[in-house]
Every structure is written in structure tokens, then in C-alpha cells.
Amino acid sequence: MGSSGQKCTATSRIIVTPGIRERFVDAFLTRVGGLTVGDPLTAGVDLGPLASKRQRDGFLGELARAGDAGQHAVLGGGTPVGDGWFVEPTVFLDPDPQSRLAQEEIFGPVTAIMPADDLDAAIGIANGVRYGLAAAVFTRDIGQALRFVRGIEAGLVHVNSETPGTEPQVPFGGMKDSSSHSREQGTAAVEFFTATKTVYLDVPPEPRAPGRPDE
């Protein structure tokens, strides 16, 4: 919900395993339901407006399409009263992993909570999209964390930290359709802005001096 969801690394899907699902959903809805939308320069405000009318209309259009597909928000989904391109933080439960809501980047304050039986199933759902920029896993089990790191198809992987936010000294970039298949930032930025030319040079033998006897 940070930056009103207008980050390429924003978490738009949360995949939860059965052991924590009920507690997580209750806590998440309580937390998101308590967020304040308004002037971001005002103390106590959590979410500002979307970038433009076009952005807001596109966001609301995506929510309408989700509703037409039988997926309805359990929280938010409307436009708050007031001037500007404000939208409420929105949460969906259990959308079809193949639905547009779960497959596309909406760039607004919307999150879909999706169930998975175990870590392998969660990785399968997470990888089942054409994007692969950032992903995160939250666990106390280092073995599970390393399995996630190896299995997830994302260029940026976080363990027990949120997906938005990167350090400028490390490479930044994604996989699949979230990448130019190169990396920015850090030493990788030098390669990003470098065009490499490969030259093969065969040096001919030195010519013999006139009158020099053959050897």
C-alpha cells in the first residue's frame, strides 16, 4: 500500500499457507482498514492520491473487471470523498490464480490474498505469471527460505523484508517480462551503459629486409 501501490516492486499478491491463514487475514484486514487516505503532507495520512485521473480511472476499471468476473473486494474498492485522484486501499480474498486480478500489475493500492497448501505450491503460484521483478518470503525456517530463494523466478528476492526498497549499490532488475535482461545500479550499471565490441586481430609476419638471406 506504500506510495498508493505505485511501485513496480509493490506486493500485489500475498500467498499464505494454512497454518497462519486465519490469523494473517484478520490482522491484515485490521491493519489495512486502519489506513488513512488524504493529503500525504498531512501528519497521520498513510496513502496519498494516484498520479493522475487516468491512473485512477484505470485502477477503478480493473476493480470493475474483477467484479464482473465474480471477484469482489472484502475491503475498500471505492473512491474516498474529496478532491483529487484518491482511492481506498483494497483487498481481495482467494482470486483465481489465472484471473486478470492475479496476473496483471494494477499499480494501485490493491492486494490479493491467495491460499497455498505448502511452500512448493506457493512458489508455483508465484511463478505462474509473466512477470518476475521482486518477491519475498517470510519464515523462521532457513531451509524454507533457501528453497524459496532457489525456486522463485524473480530478480530481487527478500527474506523477511518487504519487496519495495532496494540498495543503490546492488544490481536491480527482474526476470521474464520484468526485465531488459540486464541489470541497473551498482557495478552492473557500468555494464548496462557499456557497448562491448569484440575484435579479432591476426598480425601478419614482419616482411624480410631486401637482400636478407632466407633462414
Cα(98)–Cα(89) distance, integer angstroms:
22
| Residue pointed to by grid coordinates 519487496 | 163
- The alpha-helical segments, DSSP class H, found in the chain are 21-33, 53-68, 100-103, 119-127, 142-151, 188-192
**Which residue, among 128, 132, 129, has the nearest Cα to 156 in the 3D structure?**
132
| Active-site annotation, residues | 8
Starting at the earlier edge strand, list the strands of the sheet with 110-115.
Answer: 13-16, 110-115, 90-93
Angle, CA of 124, 129 and 135, to the nearest 5°: 70
Cα(125)–Cα(167) distance, integer angstroms:
27
**Phi (first) and psi of residue 75, to 5 degrees:** -155, 135
